[in-house]
Amino acid sequence: MRPGSDLVFVGDVHLDRDDPDLGAFLSYLRGLAPAAGRVVLMGDLFNLWIGAPELEQEHHRAVIACLQSLRKEGTQIHYLEGNRDYRIARAHAGGAFDAVSDVGLSEDWGGRRVWAAHGDLVNRKDLQYRAWRRLSRSAPAWGIFSTIPRARRFAIAESVEKKMRTTNVDMKREIPEALILDYAARHLNTPGAAVVLGHFHVEKELRAGAAGEGRVFVLPEWKGSRRHLRVTAAGAIGFEDA
Evaluate whether residue 143 is within a structural domain: yes
Evaluate whether residue 139 is within a structural domain: yes
Evaluate whether residue 163 is within a structural domain: yes
Chain segment 192-207, per-residue pLDDT in tens: 899 999 999 999 999 9
Chain segment 115-128, per-residue pLDDT in tens: 999 999 998 888 88
The predicted structure's pLDDT at residue 168:
56
Range of the domain at 90: 6-241
CATH code where residue 26 lies? 3.60.21.10
Evaluate whether residue 1 is within a structural domain: no
Walk along the chain (242 residues) and give the pLDDT tens digit of each residue. 676 799 999 999 999 999 999 999 999 999 999 999 999 999 999 999 999 888 899 999 999 999 999 999 999 999 999 999 999 999 999 999 999 999 999 999 999 999 999 999 998 888 888 898 898 889 898 888 888 887 788 788 778 777 766 665 555 557 899 999 999 999 998 888 999 999 999 999 999 876 678 999 999 999 999 999 999 999 999 999 98
Q: What is the pTM of this model?
A: 0.93
| Phi (first) and psi of residue 94, to 5 degrees | 90, -10
Evaluate whether residue 146 is within a structural domain: yes
Evaluate whether residue 138 is within a structural domain: yes
Q: How many domains does the chain have?
A: 1
